[in-house]
Amino acid sequence: MTSLWHIPLNIPPEVLQELSKTLTPTGFADYSALTIFSLAAATYLTRGYLWDQPDPYQYLVFERPQLKNGGVIGSAAKETRNIAKELEESHKDMVVFWGSQSGTAEGFANRLAREISLRFGISAMTADLSDYDPETISEIPESKLVGFLLSTYGEGDPSDNTAEFWDWVNKTKGQSQLLSSVRYFAFGLGNRNYKYYNRVVDVVVEVLDKLGAKAVMPVGKADDAEGATQEDFMAWKESLFAVLKGLGFQEHEVQYMPTVSVQEDESLEPIDLHNGEPDGGSLKAQCSPIRPLTIAASRELFNSPDRHCLHIDLDLASQPEFTYKTGDHLAIWPGNPDSEVDRLLQVLGLSTRRSVPVSIKSLDSATKVRIPSPTTVATIFRYYLEICGPVNRDNVLELAQFAPTPEAKKYLQQLGQDKSSYAAFIDKNHVNLGRLLQQASPERWNIPLSYLVETLSAMQPRYYSISSSSVISPRKASITVVVSTTPVLENEGELIHGVTSNYLLAVSENLRSAAHPEGLTYHLNGPSDCLQGGKVLTHFRKSKFKLPTLAKCPLIMVAAGTGLAPFRAFIAERRQLQQIGKEVGEMLLIFGCRRHDEDFIYRDELEEMTSALGGKLRIVTAYSRMGKKRYVQDKISEVRDDVLRLIDEGANFYICGKAEMAREVEKAVAEVMSVKGQDEASEWRTRMKRRNKWQQDVW
């Protein structure tokens, strides 16, 4: 009998004989076990060859669109990630880098580079920070100028497209004179309501100076706390122009010169066109691809006839690569309403040409075309440009050159020249581009499409905190959306409609075969009819706003309005853990809204979870329009004993809502902690944030 295993030769014969008897299969059970073992071994050994082969295209899911050759669809292929080489080959004297989360800094950079080129004859280009290797900045010669327009969001965080540059900045702090040949200027975009106001530009400027770079002017900063970002930028821009004149550059009369061409091309077929599909722009690798998801269900959360808040469930079944974690964000890519698209087409005299194919091409090798080409004018206005936003003051002055009548030109010049007059005007009027042009003159405006493509902001996705738990609903993600409508003071009864929230309201109503309450209509079938059946274009973004690893860690959660969304997920996940036998920590939720019977969202769910958790969850409410006006920061003081006790027990502290609210909550907590002494309070704040036990998701 041949042995099934190799047996060492020094085993005594009698032992070998016994082993042979023992190891020889003698029955059905033995042969079955041997067969199963053999199959299992064969299965394991052929993994990756005959089965479970890796998807060769899996990397595409994580690719950053801006790093592909060509960047945005329709732009020239990018041959280098060396910015110094790019400046040399394209014969540019200035580069304006931008780091942008919502598109504002990108828009400012494009405006600045274009105006500097026209006003001073300096050949300038803009650059997405993620398109170039940051270390190549050190190769830029002193004859060139470098600009940085950098936004700060969240808790002093850089924008997604700034991540690689930010890492490089923090790694090279000690390398003196690395940037000794670089001359630069910098402008930061931030909000004073955030604790780390303009932290990104402050850190970058500090490191640039330590590395030997020379600032040609003090750093500029915008503060969006009072909506002053545009005016802050314009004031800083004038200071920069004065510096450029001081450096010897001659100022010229500004006349519009396009950097892109937009030409009709009726030879193109419909199959050749881009119909509104977003390409993601400078989204970081931490974001998923953009895909359509079906709205599985939508329901109203407010008990009010004139205010709306939606709970929307999105089905992930059609996108197997989509996954999320509790606390992540979901982005919605909206379309502009038909009324505003039609208004702008009409005022430009393009209504009958709305569907004619157009090709967009760069007239400058260093200029990136932001809009996929070829396409149509209607598609550009519906999906690719933010046509519903207010017009900034310097654009009002620029538009005067295209006025169809002397009266219209005078009207725009007077409107745009005075800062305070324009601020008072926009406080009482909603002046997006179409409405402003109509108001200035009923005549047809002959504005080049290239000007609109260059100056209007690109359409941006809107991010929502996911209000479902990935543990409970891994294939269904929910968001909580308050529908934004603001009255126009000058025109009684007219409303300013938030772009994305009203788009989602229209989609939700359509699922019930109903119309938008205000009569707004949208092309709900989406680009190339890819959204038929109640779908929306989405992607996921990772967040640091997470539950602690230990389920028994206590939680203090503070929210106002839809800031409750992620906490709904947190509490539901804790309840699920408790139901499977895990010990969960105590939770204190402080929630603020107007009235308990109007906009206390998820109230029934929270009451049910409070009961199910058996004393582990306590909810403290603050009502701003019931009895004595109270806000969440006021409630911090009222429950100070619980707050102090939970913090001493190692609680994680979470805030979700508007930045102003978060700032006031932090002040209130600091006052509560001051009972232990000022030093203790200061140490507590530093310790909590260093250990990631203080987290904010604010806007």
Higher pLDDT: 573 or 430? It is 573
The whole-number average pLDDT for the span 12-29 is 53
User: What is the predicted pLDDT for the residue at 49?
Assistant: 43
Asked whether residue 204 falls in the same domain as residue 115, the answer is yes
Residue 552 has pLDDT above 50, yes or no: yes
Give yes or no for a contact between 308 and 482, defined as CB atoms under 8 angstroms apart.
yes
How many percent of the chain have pLDDT more than 90?
Answer: 71
pLDDT of residue 110: 92
Q: Which CATH number goes with the domain that contains 143? A: 3.40.50.360
Q: Are residues 298 and 379 in the same domain?
A: no
pLDDT recorded at residue 493: 62
Same domain flag for 480 and 352: no
- Is the residue at 1 inside a domain? no
User: Has residue 555 got a pLDDT over 60?
Assistant: yes
Q: DSSP characters for 588-612? A: EEEEEES-TTTS-TTHHHHHHHHHH
pTM: 0.83
Could you check whether the bond before residue 374 is cis, i.e. omega within 30 degrees of 0?
Answer: yes
Residues 446 and 517 occupy one common structural domain: no
Q: Which of 40-44, 661-665, 675-679 has the lowest mean pLDDT?
A: 40-44
User: Three-state SS for 538?
Assistant: strand
- pLDDT, tens digit (0-9, with 9 covering 90-100), for 196-231: 899 999 999 999 999 999 999 999 999 988 788 999
Q: Per-residue pLDDT for 44 more than 80?
A: no
Q: What is the CATH number of the domain that holds 633?
A: 3.40.50.80
Same domain, 109 and 222: yes
Phi, psi angle pair for 442, to nearest 5°: -80, -10
pLDDT tens digits for range 387-419? 999 899 989 999 999 999 999 999 999 999 988
Does residue 571 form part of some domain?
Answer: yes
In a domain, 41, yes or no: no
Tell me: pLDDT of 375 over 70.
Answer: yes
pLDDT digits (tens, 9 = 90+) for 101-157: 888 999 999 999 999 999 999 999 999 999 999 999 999 999 999 999 999 987 788
Pairing, β 183-190 against β 145-153: parallel
Pairwise CA distance, residues 471 & 420, whole Å: 52
Task: Give the Cα separation of 565 and 480 in Å (integer).
Answer: 6
Average pLDDT on 423-440 reads 88
Give dist(CA 74, CA 379) in Å, integer.
15
Please check whether residues 451 and 516 belong to one and the same domain.
no
Give 635-638 contacts, CB < 8 A, sequence gap 24+. 635/590, 635/592, 636/558, 636/590, 636/665, 636/668, 636/669, 636/672, 637/668, 637/671, 637/672
Contact criterion met (CB below 8 Å) for 398 and 448: no
pLDDT at position 550 over 80: yes
Most confidently modeled range among 177-181, 341-345, 421-425, 691-695: 341-345
H-type alpha helices, 405-495: 406-417, 419-428, 433-440, 449-455
Does residue 284 carry a pLDDT above 90?
no
Statement: residue 31 has pLDDT above 50: yes
Residue 342, SS3?
helix
Residue 678 has pLDDT above 80, yes or no: no
Residue bearing tokens 């902690």: 673
Give just the sign of the alpha carbon dihedral 316, 317, 318, 320.
positive
Residue 477 covered by a domain: yes
pLDDT attached to residue 194: 79
What does the pLDDT look like over 225-257, one tens digit per residue?
Answer: 878 899 999 999 999 999 999 999 999 888 888
Quote the pLDDT of residue 17. Answer: 56
Q: Which of 71-80, 193-202, 539-548 has the lowest mean pLDDT?
A: 71-80
Greater pLDDT, 636 or 176: 636
Q: Is residue 36 part of a domain?
A: no
Say if residue 175 is in the same domain as residue 237: yes
Last residue of a domain, one of 487, 511, 543: 543
Q: What are phi and psi of 186, to 5 degrees?
A: -145, 145
Q: What is the pLDDT of residue 101?
A: 84
CATH number at residue 410: 1.20.990.10
pLDDT at residue 12 in the model: 55
Q: What is the pLDDT of residue 2?
A: 42
Give the domain-ending residue among 455, 484, 517: 455
**The domain spanning residue 303 has which CATH number?**
2.40.30.10
User: Percent of the chain having pLDDT more than 70?
Assistant: 86
Tally of structural domains, the chain = 4
Q: Do 356 and 386 belong together in one domain? A: yes
Peptide bond connecting 448 to the previous residue in cis, omega within 30 degrees of 0: no
Query: In angstroms, rounded to a whole number, what is the distance separating the alpha carbons of residues 485 and 306?
Result: 10
pLDDT in tens, 558-610: 999 999 999 999 999 999 999 999 999 999 999 999 999 899 999 999 999 99
Handedness of CA 249, 252, 254, 256 (dihedral sign): negative
Query: How far, in whole angstroms, is CA 373 from its chain's centroid?
Result: 24
Most confident of 168-177, 180-189, 414-423, 683-692: 180-189
Dist. CA 456–CA 380, nearest whole Å: 11
Indicate whether 634 belongs to any domain: yes
Q: Are residues 198 and 328 in the same domain?
A: no
The C-alpha atoms of residue 159 and residue 179 are separated, in whole angstroms, by 23
Pair (507, 606) in one structural domain: no
423 is in which domain, residue-wise? 262-275+336-455
The answer on pLDDT for 47 being more than 70 is no
**Looking at the predicted structure, is the pLDDT value of residue 181 above 70?**
yes
Instruction: Tell me, yes or no, whether 328 and 377 share the same domain.
Output: no
Domain contains 497? yes
Q: For 315-357, how does the pLDDT look when each residue is reduced to its tens digit (9 = 90+)?
A: 999 999 999 999 999 999 999 999 999 999 999 999 999 999 9
Q: Do residue 316 and residue 432 come from a single domain? A: no
Tell me the β-bridge partners of 385.
Answer: 458
Domain boundary pick from 430, 455, 480: 455
CA gap 330, 464 in Å, rounded: 5
Q: What's residue 9's pLDDT?
A: 45
Average pLDDT, the chain: 88
Does residue 73 belong to any structural domain of this protein?
no
